[in-house]
Amino acid sequence: MERSWYWRVALIVAVALFSLWQLVPSWFYFKLPPDQRSTEAYEHAVPGWAPTSQKHLNLGLDLQGGIHLAMGVDVERAVKAKVARRADEIAEYLKSKNVPAESVTTTAGGTRVAVKAADPKQVESSVLDSYDQEMYSPGVVDGAVTFAFKDTVLRDFQSKAVEQAEKTIRNRVDKWGVSEPDIKRKANNQIQIQLPGFKDPEKAKELLGRTAQLEFKITDDENPALDQLRGQLTPCATADGFRIPLPQGGCWSTESVELPNGTARAVTILAANTRPEIEKLIQEKATPLLDPQKNVVGIGEATVGQGPTRQQYYRTYLLRAKTELTGDYIADARAAIDQSQQFGQSGRPLVQFTMSVEGGRLMQKLTSENMRRRMATVLDDKVETAPYIQGEISTNGQITLGSGRNPQEMFEEANQIALVLKAGALPAPVTISEERTVGATLGPELVRRGTVAALIGLGLVLLFMVAYYRASGLVADVALVLNGLLVLAIMAMIGSTLTLPGIAGFVLTLGMAVDANVLINERIREELRAGRTIKQAVQQGYDKVFWTIVDSHVTTLVAALVLMNYGSGPVRGFAVTLAIGLVASMFTSIVVTRAFMEFFTRHETARLSV
């Protein structure tokens, strides 16, 4: 025998052993009940000599059930938030350069920055010296110089918003503990999320869709703008006290607030029974009285009464428009129980957070400059708390949740808030454009039917090859079994997810492998009819059919790679399995079967059944 033959045999044995070794974790994974596959029971079941327990075949959404969501990112709002932050940066930059500026605001629907100053040209020159890569100045109007962002910068803002949203959702899912999630960006600013094995769609939408925009704003308690509403609306309180339910459409009340100068003031607040009511009241009555560049109205929850008579309602806070600090600087967050005895807060759930080094510096600066004022913690457009700043705060803080609900529900909410804050805030709200749930009973049924179909198809092919090509068909069958093992082993090694279309791709690759062997056997028959010896017929058969097999496999492989690159979901699962199978098919049909055939026909007197 030629020396190269021994190397080929060694390679075949090595590939077979590698395939069996690589599939050991998958064997133990699927032996366990579905509810134990992602637990320590599986970790302990995998032998120490086997590959890491993470290297096992994964089942896709369609095979084990779960949730499929497509979420769209509101990139326009993300761009406006980015522009607003850039306006704050410009204000700080001008201050550091000692360039006088009366105001720095956003204009044109939040997409441009306007700086009003006594010397607009000086402002224009100073800002463009540092920000000329991002923006340009269309000119000066009414004493304010406008800065517009370049189109490439705006597109980058939008792209980064979707990228950040994808990263944030991925972080939330990872901290959530869902195994084998599939998260990817799609066209039209959408993100596709597949959570195999997860059974609670409402919880998934709540956690993944929650913006978790944490903002710190200072209250504007000295501003009397809302006081004039006292004569236009119904009072919330009567001589008998605060009345619940509140009057239809909302009402006004006051709360005593201590000002930084030591005096107290009765601040006007608006209240209503429901959030839609308070939002309508703000839009119709409060907003026309305010300068949107200076003030916004925040909404919080409050309660009145005790025990069974406790009632919840919604109230307003007059806040400065500027967001002083955001949750982007939060490094860690966790749920806890308030152990303090102040203000009757003991035992209430809260969220404790730790800020990054830069966040701690900014928080310390913010609190030192606003001592004895109230600082509102706004989470997803809801004022959670508005305590007085009694001292400097740096890296550690907390959010106390509203009262009036079941303590267990409040603690679960605190856990969810801590999770999304720790994983990062979404750059903008997201909307669910597509939702699909695969039931827990459908997945296993698909697995069973798909497996049965694959085994029946494989069995029929094996029988046909043996019946039609006899001994040569038996050699092809051995190569076919090795081909299947190799495909599954590679999928397990790279952590590929097996879907129902993937099973179809697997069966198709078996057909491609058989097709190659059919070409080889028919070519050997032709060579025998031409008068070649058996040994010559085998060698000539493989040599002459080699490029035909390569050509057919490569052209199909190109199509599979295109589907992998541009397809998604089931299409991509089919393409991945097909591509792996084509590579394995070329190896088994050209290398494996030839090694066997050359072994059996190594002598001139050898006989061949083909």
Q: What would the two tokens of residue 535 be? A: 């040994």
Mean pLDDT value of segment 341-350: 59
Q: Is a pLDDT exceeding 50 seen at residue 344?
A: no
The better pLDDT of the pair 609, 490 is held by 490
Least confident of 20-24, 88-92, 344-348: 344-348
Residue 320 CA to residue 338 CA, distance in Å, equals: 28
Q: Is a pLDDT exceeding 60 seen at residue 321?
A: yes
The better pLDDT of the pair 228, 391 is held by 228
Q: DSSP class of residue 154? A: H
Residue 297 CA to residue 372 CA, distance in Å, equals: 20
Strand partners, 148: 112, 136
- Structural domains in the chain, sorted by start: 3-65+440-600 (1.20.1640.10), 75-153 (3.30.1240), 214-404 (no CATH)
pLDDT, position 97: 86
Q: Is a pLDDT exceeding 80 seen at residue 553?
A: yes
User: Could you identify the residue written with the tokens 């200076």?
Assistant: 294
pLDDT, position 447: 67
> Would you place residue 406 in the very low, low, confident or very high pLDDT band (cuts 50, 70, 90)?
low
User: Taking a C-beta distance cutoff of 8 angstroms, is the pair 404, 58 a contact?
Assistant: no
Mean pLDDT value of segment 513-542: 84
Q: Which of 251-265, 506-520, 563-577 has the highest mean pLDDT?
A: 251-265
pLDDT tens-digit readout, 580-599? 888 888 888 888 888 888 88
| Residue 489, helix vs strand vs coil | helix
Q: Is a pLDDT exceeding 80 seen at residue 307?
A: no
pLDDT tens-digit readout, 142-191? 788 999 999 998 888 888 888 888 887 877 776 665 656 778 888 778 88
Mean pLDDT value of segment 261-283: 92
Q: Is a pLDDT exceeding 70 seen at residue 425?
A: no
Q: How large a percentage of the chain has pLDDT more than 90? A: 13
User: Taking a C-beta distance cutoff of 8 angstroms, is the pair 184, 167 a contact?
Assistant: no
Look up residue 532 and give its amino acid. R
User: Taking a C-beta distance cutoff of 8 angstroms, is the pair 492, 22 a contact?
Assistant: yes
Per DSSP, the residues of 56-82 read SPEE-HHHH-EEEEEEEE-HHHHHHHH
User: Taking a C-beta distance cutoff of 8 angstroms, is the pair 430, 222 a contact?
Assistant: no
**What's the Rg (C-alpha) of the chain?**
35
Least confident of 137-141, 296-300, 447-451, 531-535: 447-451
Q: Is a pLDDT exceeding 70 seen at residue 493?
A: yes
pLDDT, position 72: 87
Residue 217 CA to residue 490 CA, distance in Å, equals: 54
**All residues at 6 or more sequence positions from 487 whose CB lies less than 8 Å from its CB, including other chains:** 506, 509, 577, 580, 581, 584
pLDDT tens-digit readout, 26-78? 888 888 887 777 667 788 888 888 888 778 887 777 777 778 888 888 888 88
**What angle separates helix 471-493 from helix 3-22, to the nearest 10 degrees?**
50
Mean pLDDT for the chain overall: 82
What percentage of the chain's residues is helix, strand, coil (to nearest 5)? 50, 20, 25
Residue 496 CA to residue 517 CA, distance in Å, equals: 28
User: Taking a C-beta distance cutoff of 8 angstroms, is the pair 421, 327 a contact?
Assistant: yes
Q: Is a pLDDT exceeding 90 seen at residue 416?
A: no
Q: What angle do CA 586, 591, 592 make, to 5 degrees?
A: 100
Kind of pairing between the strands at 58-59 and 497-498: parallel
pTM above 0.85, yes or no: no
Residue 185 CA to residue 191 CA, distance in Å, equals: 4
pLDDT, position 595: 85
pLDDT, position 424: 63
> Would you place residue 346 in the very low, low, confident or very high pLDDT band (cuts 50, 70, 90)?
low
Q: Is a pLDDT exceeding 90 seen at residue 443?
A: no
CA dihedral 227, 228, 232, 234 (to 10 degrees): 10
Q: What would the two tokens of residue 567 be? A: 């397809």
Residue 271 CA to residue 426 CA, distance in Å, equals: 30
> Would you place residue 374 in the very low, low, confident or very high pLDDT band (cuts 50, 70, 90)?
very high
Which residue in 571, 557, 454, 556 sits closest to 506, CA to CA? 454
User: Taking a C-beta distance cutoff of 8 angstroms, is the pair 417, 351 a contact?
Assistant: yes
Mean pLDDT value of segment 374-380: 85
pLDDT, position 343: 43
The better pLDDT of the pair 420, 261 is held by 261
Residue 17 CA to residue 40 CA, distance in Å, equals: 27
Q: Is a pLDDT exceeding 80 seen at residue 407?
A: no
Residue 176 CA to residue 60 CA, distance in Å, equals: 18
| Residue 511, helix vs strand vs coil | helix
Mean pLDDT value of segment 356-381: 87
